[in-house]
Structure 1
Amino acid sequence: MAARRSTNAEDYQRVARPVAAMPKDFPSGHHIAPHSHERGQLIYATTGVMRVSTAPKDKENGGTWVVPPQRALWIPPGIAHEIHMSGAVAMRTLYIAADTAAALPGSCQVIEVSDLLRALILAAMEEPVEYEAGSRGEAIAQLLLHELRGVAVVPLHLPLPQDARLQAVCRLMLDRLSDNTDIETLAREAGMSSRSLARLFQRETGLGFQAWRQQARLAEALAQLSGGKPVALVARDLGYASPAAFTAMFRRSLGITPGRYFSRAHS
């Protein structure tokens, strides 16, 4: 059994190894205030759902990412972010040195966690932080880096616009996820034409109006489902006509039904 290690992220930023692994558990509702790291960060949770948010400075690195079980979030070095926990979260973090991280994506991305990648992340937690050259710990770190270079990206990014009027529109939609308020109504509240709103929304977020709202609903659904809320109640609260309609949206987005998704996550 590996010795108990620090749960202070700062203790991992200058480790003389390309990959440093930190396990840390959080209660439901815990909030980690905005911060950044010298190293790149792969955030993975064996249980619970995380919402990771950054300032909307650009389309790729601004917005909110939902990180459920079977997914992880890659954050490049120096990106300021905050994290909200939905459900009790068992977070397992890999801090990757900046020079090594240069070979990985330059933007925040939610990625698929295969059985192999999951096993490697958990195995890294059991090795010494400063593993020896030629050791099992070094082999795990190198295989982790190899796996991360070829992972599939999952569309769980909710980009936020920079325009103040669009930010107000997004806040309204987030407050009214159960409503199907049309773009004409929202445009009037923003003091814009619907055509201008649609064009500017697409330019600033990279998503159409309806696609953005679906992403927001999926994010909220994952948070609620992770807490054990029944699918029928989640579907009703998010404005879907039936549980079947909600399940169809979930399957289109994540390739699996809600029940099967969370039963796999718990197993």
Structure 2
Amino acid sequence: MQNDNMKCGLIEKTESQFVDSIEKEAYVWCEKNWKHDDYEHQHNRAQLTFVEEGYQYFHIDRKIYLVPQHHVIWIPSEKAHKITSEAQTVNLMVFLFKSVFEDEFYQNVQVFAVPPVLKEMLLYASKWNQSLDENEEQDLFFKAILKSLPNFCKESSSLEIPVPTDTRLIPVCNDINVNFKYNLDIDSLAEKAQMSVRSLQRIFKNETGITLQKYLQLTRILKSIELIDTRQYTLSEVAYKVGYQSLSAFTSSYFAIMQVKPKINKN
């Protein structure tokens, strides 16, 4: 059964709340050209999203998580989230679980690159796309995926951009997001925050857990992922567009964040 208010098998009762009438313990929903809602929502099921193509931003608890191609994000049940993306095409697999294991892993948002064995498991599971019928193999297979997640997860905390709660820092973040191509003008940023340079550096680090320089680096790398996704530029052009003077400087910065070297995907 499909209707306009059904998303991933869940019926959207209000703009942010979903009704789960499905009996199955776990199921998968694959979609090409994923369309995004620009509002925060939540549901009772825990969610594992695999980005097969494109990239997504998940806005959760005052953090913005980047989930690039061939990464997954784990979102605990009842955790409010909003999704955005500028990618040309977003192909997703969304696994929804009614219950999870006791391990602390499942209580927190997780983002990590998918190792080859997990990727094969997820792709195999796509044969049950949108199937809500009882199936013993599917139930056991999905439970195996769920149980293995903590072992597959290598901390990718670098893929999250913190959003400060101190409103004085919002203009600082906005300025970096617009002028990421240029080096930090720390005096100008301090003026925007209406505080001294030393206070800005200290408060920003306390609020976000990272330095202004690290925030700039993260912003540049996230922007580079967006540009790479368009397949319109060489890596050297991308490096220049996001503020690096050489391809090697960009590559080492990209690797420090992503743990892989940048490359243009040829489809």
* Short-chain TM bin: 0.7 to 0.9
CA offsets per residue over residues 134-170 of structure 1, 9 Å max, x none? x220121111112212211212001110111111111
Looking at structure 2, the residues matched to 32 and 102 of structure 1 have their Cα atoms a distance apart, in angstroms, of 31
Report deviation, 1:101.
6.3
Report deviation, 1:131.
3.2
Q: Is the 8 A contact 1:15 1:130 kept in 2?
A: no
Looking at structure 2, the residues matched to 252 and 234 of structure 1 have their Cα atoms a distance apart, in angstroms, of 17
Consecutive unaligned residues in structure 1, runs of 5 or more: 55-60
Q: Is the 8 A contact 1:202 1:208 kept in 2?
A: yes
Looking at structure 2, the residues matched to 101 and 233 of structure 1 have their Cα atoms a distance apart, in angstroms, of 46
The higher-RCO structure (CA 8 Å, 6+ apart) is 1
Looking at structure 2, the residues matched to 223 and 185 of structure 1 have their Cα atoms a distance apart, in angstroms, of 27
Of residues 34, 37, 55, the one that matches 1:32 is 37
What are the residue-to-residue correspondences of 1:136-215 with 2, within 5 Å?
A: 136-150=137-151, 151-154=153-156, 155-215=158-218
Looking at structure 2, the residues matched to 101 and 25 of structure 1 have their Cα atoms a distance apart, in angstroms, of 30
Looking at structure 2, the residues matched to 79 and 257 of structure 1 have their Cα atoms a distance apart, in angstroms, of 32
Of residues 48, 51, 65, the one that matches 1:45 is 51
Looking at structure 2, the residues matched to 102 and 146 of structure 1 have their Cα atoms a distance apart, in angstroms, of 10
Q: Does 1:17 align with 2:28?
A: no
Report deviation, 1:176.
0.8
The TM-score normalised by the length of structure 1 is 0.84
One-letter code of the match for 2:137? R
- Equivalent residue number for residue 58 of structure 1: none
Report deviation, 1:44.
1.3
- Equivalent residue number for residue 115 of structure 2: 114
One-letter code of the match for 1:211? K
CA offsets per residue over residues 53-109 of structure 1, 9 Å max, x none? 23xxxxxx3221111112111122222222223120111111122x41653333322
- Equivalent residue number for residue 76 of structure 1: 76
Report deviation, 1:230.
2.1
The TM-score normalised by the length of structure 2 is 0.84
Report deviation, 1:14.
4.1
Looking at structure 2, the residues matched to 182 and 75 of structure 1 have their Cα atoms a distance apart, in angstroms, of 36
Q: Does 1:245 align with 2:249?
A: yes
One-letter code of the match for 1:91? L
Shift of the 19–52 alpha-carbon distance from structure 1 to 2, 3 Å rule, reads same
Aligned-residue identity in percent: 24
**How big is the alpha-carbon RMSD for the aligned residues of Structure 1 and Structure 2?**
2.5
- Equivalent residue number for residue 57 of structure 1: none
Shift of the 183–76 alpha-carbon distance from structure 1 to 2, 3 Å rule, reads farther
- Equivalent residue number for residue 14 of structure 2: none
Shift of the 113–189 alpha-carbon distance from structure 1 to 2, 3 Å rule, reads same
CA offsets per residue over residues 168-187 of structure 1, 9 Å max, x none? 11111101110112323201
CA offsets per residue over residues 115-140 of structure 1, 9 Å max, x none? 221222222232233433xx220121
Looking at structure 2, the residues matched to 235 and 14 of structure 1 have their Cα atoms a distance apart, in angstroms, of 48
Partner secondary structure for residue 106 of structure 2: coil
Q: Is the 8 A contact 1:123 1:140 kept in 2?
A: no
The size of the alignment, in residue pairs, is: 250
Of residues 246, 256, 259, the one that matches 1:255 is 259
